[in-house]
Structure 1
Amino acid sequence: MHATPLRRHPSTPDDIVTGITVEVDSLTTDLLVLYFRVTGNIDRLQLPAQAASKFQDELWKHTCLEAFLAFADSDVYYEFNFSPSSQWAVYRFDGYREGMTPLHPAPPPRVIVRRREGELDFDVDIHLGAIPGLTADDIKDRELRMAVSAVMESDQGRKSYWALAHPQGKPDFHHRDGFALVLDGGLAGDPV
């Protein structure tokens, strides 16, 4: 698949980040691979120090990349957060912002971050079979939709919100209008 641009929410100006793209790939029907690229004046982003790759709550409060997965025929959805520190978080929701449960999949998501001049690259591997409720048969037989988003925090504490698609109104990554990518049984994604 090709790199798909995320769009900045118009209510959140940003003079630091010039673009964010995501490429969605899969090596197997169980392994979802996300390649993120953030471009701009990376030195002016608020970036946490490298840390052990482990579950960490509230990553979304600072610079963070996110993915959301939901079956089209269910209110249940999953949120994945990835920090430049290499920490991660996975949550299951029973419905729109309701019934949040932290998950600790084994194997956990793998987050690799590389920093270059004017660029921050993330490679993220998610073993979907390790997430309760995401069985290989369900992934193969049901329509799986995905939202991809990002929170970028400047060195001055200002935040901008980026997504493949934004619903009307304020930034809201949990809104189903943002689930703009349809993954087929082989996990290849196409925007809707």
Structure 2
Amino acid sequence: MRLALTPHPDFPSDAITAIEVEIVRAGPERLELVYLVRGDVEHLLVPAPADAERTDGLWASTCFELFAKAAGGEAYCEFNFAPSSQWAAYAFDGYRAGMRELALETPEIEVAATDDVFEVRVAVEASVLRAGAHLALTAVIEETSGAKSYWSVRHAAGKPDFHHAESFAVELL
């Protein structure tokens, strides 16, 4: 399944023209995600390569994200994947409530780039990724100018908020 992300209307990008995410089911609780960022990628601010370790605050710069929750539930998980290979995973009891680290094996993160496409491949395994889960697929893009844009399959009204229930727009098959 391939989905288009759109920028939040209040935070357009000068350099990036499109972001798509391809989702591949690689096991009952495993997803492979390919984020394809198109545009003038030389103006994309990309964190330097680093050890593949859990790191907080990745969303403050270029970061690719996945939010997942079981159908009908309030609890959800947030996964952050940086092009540096750093990552984070959190569990929430409800909307921005009860945040704690989610136990997770280190996700696989690979990056490739051409003049007009920046690609981030991620493989992640977690019990919340079972069939029927609802997903929010998102990205924070920082440009060399310092401008940031916030991309999602669906945006809730108001300021960018990927945790909002309206963001969970994709049902995982």
Same fold (TM over 0.5): yes
Equivalence for 2:90: 91
Whether the 8 Å contact between 1:16 and 1:44 is mirrored in structure 2 is yes
Q: Which of residues 96, 108, 111 is equivalent to 1:110?
A: 108
Equivalence for 2:37: 38
Q: Which of residues 91, 102, 122 is equivalent to 1:124?
A: 122
Structure 2 distance, partners of 1:182, 1:98, is 23
Alpha-carbon shift at residue 68 of structure 1 (Å): 0.2
Alpha-carbon shift at residue 169 of structure 1 (Å): 1.2
The amino acid that maps onto 1:93 is: F
Runs of 4+ aligned structure 1 residues displaced above 3 Å come to: none
Structure 2 distance, partners of 1:24, 1:176, is 20
Q: Which of residues 157, 160, 167 is equivalent to 1:168?
A: 157
Percent identity, aligned pairs only? 40
Q: Mind listing any 5+ residue stretches in structure 1 that lack a counterpart?
A: 185-192
Alpha-carbon shift at residue 104 of structure 1 (Å): 3.7
The amino acid that maps onto 2:121 is: D
Per-residue CA deviations over 1:7-38 (Å, capped at 9, x if unaligned) read 11110021110110001111211211111100
The amino acid that maps onto 1:86 is: S
The amino acid that maps onto 2:39 is: G
Alpha-carbon shift at residue 181 of structure 1 (Å): 0.5
Q: Mind listing any 5+ residue stretches in structure 2 that lack a counterpart?
A: none
Equivalence for 1:146: 135
**Normalising to structure 2: TM-score of the pair?**
0.95
The amino acid that maps onto 1:179 is: F
Q: Could you say which structure has the larger radius of gyration?
A: 1
RMSD: 1.3
Per-residue CA deviations over 1:126-169 (Å, capped at 9, x if unaligned) read 1124xxxx3x8xx35xx310000010111121110100000111
**Normalising to structure 1: TM-score of the pair?**
0.86
Equivalence for 2:6: 7
Structure 1 distance, partners of 2:163, 2:136, is 8
1:20-99 alignment, distance < 5 Å: 20-99=19-98
Whether the 8 Å contact between 1:55 and 1:104 is mirrored in structure 2 is no
Whether the 8 Å contact between 1:31 and 1:128 is mirrored in structure 2 is yes
Structure 2 distance, partners of 1:147, 1:41, is 25
Whether the 8 Å contact between 1:75 and 1:94 is mirrored in structure 2 is yes
Q: How many residues align?
A: 173
Whether the 8 Å contact between 1:8 and 1:162 is mirrored in structure 2 is yes
